[in-house]
Amino acid sequence: MLATLVVTVVALLAAALGFQSIWCAGFVRMFRDRPSPPVSDAQLPKLALVMPLRGADPFLDRTLLILSQLDYPDYDIRIIVDNREDPAWGLVQRIKAERGGDRIKVEELSDRRTTCSLKMSALIQAVSSLDDSYEVVAIIDADAVPYPGWLRDLVQPLADPQVGATSGVRWFMPEKTNTGSLVRYIWNAAAAAQMHAFGIGWGGSLAVRTSLLRDAGILQKWSQIMFEDTFTVNEVYALGKRLEYVPAATLLNRESIDVAGCTKFISRQVVNARFYDRSWPAIAAYALLSALALNGALAVGAAALLMREMVAAGAIGAALGVYAVGMAILLVAEEVVVRRVARRRGESIEPYSWKLVGAGLLTHYVYLTSVALALRVTEIEWRGIKYSLGGPRTVNLQHYTPYRPGTAGPEARLSL
């Protein structure tokens, strides 16, 4: 009996490591592929860059300054702020006055729909006001800090008529290496490889042809959902177009977060996949596989020690060691290619932290907790607003209140 269990959990560990290795190899290979051929200014389409804001994210000032001076010939910035009393309102107005000129258009969110998230309401308001001259809509999150060539890199693949949308890569590189920040970093590294493998877009750096938004009636559908990115990319697929990943458009997030906030953050990402991604069965199956593999190995290993079956315990220990070292190698491989991109842009690189060793196992349990929460979720709290969820297109904003900043000072650089 014990021998059978040992063989089973070793096989599960090998399978979990094997799948993640395949996905990671594809992710790393993407960074080594030739980029899209350069496109002249005349070939770049007119673009509307949309940013919904609720609260002033820690690096928002830096993001806005860079957005106002992107290396792109014809673009306008549409910023929808939750309300005029929001902490972001004054910051946006100041930077608009100093740097933005007529390029930045700032509006207060005028129609807070109760059937979708506030972010979706803001996106609908911004996109519905665009005229036909705008060929592309790009979306950027307030916690993503771009670089001068970001928009050009993101849009270039749209020169191929079969590409309906493009996505950059989200990568966490926190300035402070507290436990929650490291857990989110490790989780995201694994998730980024899965997102690339399954063709899942990221709304923090996403460009979509405006014609597709109209052809699929996406704005109307947006009025019934929580999250835009996964849903919108699936609509693009349904129209016979494809998503192109743009490794050059990798954006770094240097914010910090505590473990509780990290758990909520990951749980929202899982809900997004569960509700709107066609690959959810595969994602859920891998979550179950990794849970059975690691927890089963720990349980069987402990049982072998109690029974003084040292050969069995040694086999389990060796398998866990190979699994841990393998996962660490995959993490480093991804980090190396991302750092290479960041260095080319002249961005500062945070040193590796020895705390990663201890954060790895905790990441597993935070992720399992997040998945468990996402599987039974009926309510989400997001930036101080509670939404009840009856299903993918049954969203109810329970009660609106303006955003209230936390008690931490701005030097904390905490995710909102």
The pLDDT of residue 176: 86
List alpha helices for 33-107, DSSP H: 60-67, 87-95
The pLDDT of residue 238: 94
In Å, how far are 123, 225, 234, 253, 380 from 116, measured between CA atoms?
11, 5, 18, 26, 12
CA pair distance 265, 127, nearest whole angstrom: 26
CA pair distance 197, 279, nearest whole angstrom: 10
Amino acid at 351: P
- Report yes or no: 254 and 342 within 8 Å, Cβ to Cβ: no
- For 221, list phi and psi in degrees, rounded to 5: -70, -35
- Write out pLDDT tens, residues 172-189: 999 888 999 999 999 999
- For 48, list phi and psi in degrees, rounded to 5: -110, 125
Shortest CA distance to 70 belongs to which of 45, 100, 93, 40? Answer: 100
Q: Is the pLDDT of residue 14 over 90?
A: yes
Q: How many helices (H) and strands (E) does the chain have?
A: 13, 12
Which pLDDT band, with edges at 50, 70 and 90, does 11 fall under?
very high
Q: Is the pLDDT of residue 81 over 90?
A: yes
Q: Kindly state the average pLDDT of the residues 345-365.
A: 87
- For 192, list phi and psi in degrees, rounded to 5: -60, -40
Q: Kindly state the average pLDDT of the residues 354-374.
A: 90
Query: How many C-beta neighbours within 10 Å does residue 83 have?
Result: 16
Query: How many C-beta neighbours within 10 Å does residue 334 have?
Result: 21
State the chain's maximal CA–CA distance in angstroms. Answer: 75
What does DSSP assign to residue 190? H
Q: Is the pLDDT of residue 409 over 60?
A: no
Averaged confidence pLDDT in the chain:
94
Name 195's Cβ contacts closer than 8 Å, sequence gap at least 6. Answer: 201, 202
Kindly state the percentage of the chain with pLDDT values over 70.
Answer: 98
- Report yes or no: 152 and 72 within 8 Å, Cβ to Cβ: yes
CA pair distance 60, 51, nearest whole angstrom: 11
Shortest CA distance to 268 belongs to which of 394, 367, 404, 396? Answer: 367
Q: Kindly state the average pLDDT of the residues 84-88.
A: 96
Across the beta sheet with 379-382, the strand order is 379-382, 385-391, 394-397
The pLDDT of residue 408: 58
The pLDDT of residue 182: 95
Q: Is the pLDDT of residue 369 over 70?
A: yes
CATH T-level fold of 37-276: Spore Coat Polysaccharide Biosynthesis Protein SpsA; Chain A (3.90.550)
The pLDDT of residue 410: 56
CA pair distance 49, 74, nearest whole angstrom: 11
- Write out pLDDT tens, residues 227-249: 999 999 999 999 999 999 999 99
- Write out pLDDT tens, residues 282-329: 999 999 999 999 999 999 999 999 999 999 999 999 999 999 999 999
The pLDDT of residue 411: 60
CA pair distance 210, 123, nearest whole angstrom: 13
CA pair distance 196, 334, nearest whole angstrom: 12
The pLDDT of residue 380: 95
Amino acid at 341: V
- Tokens found for residue 274: 């569960």
164: Cα separation from own chain's centroid:
19
The pLDDT of residue 150: 97
Q: Is the pLDDT of residue 77 over 80?
A: yes
- Write out pLDDT tens, residues 188-238: 999 999 999 999 999 999 999 999 998 888 999 999 999 999 999 999 999
CA pair distance 403, 381, nearest whole angstrom: 12
**Sequence ranges of the domains in the chain:** 37-276
What does DSSP assign to residue 86? S
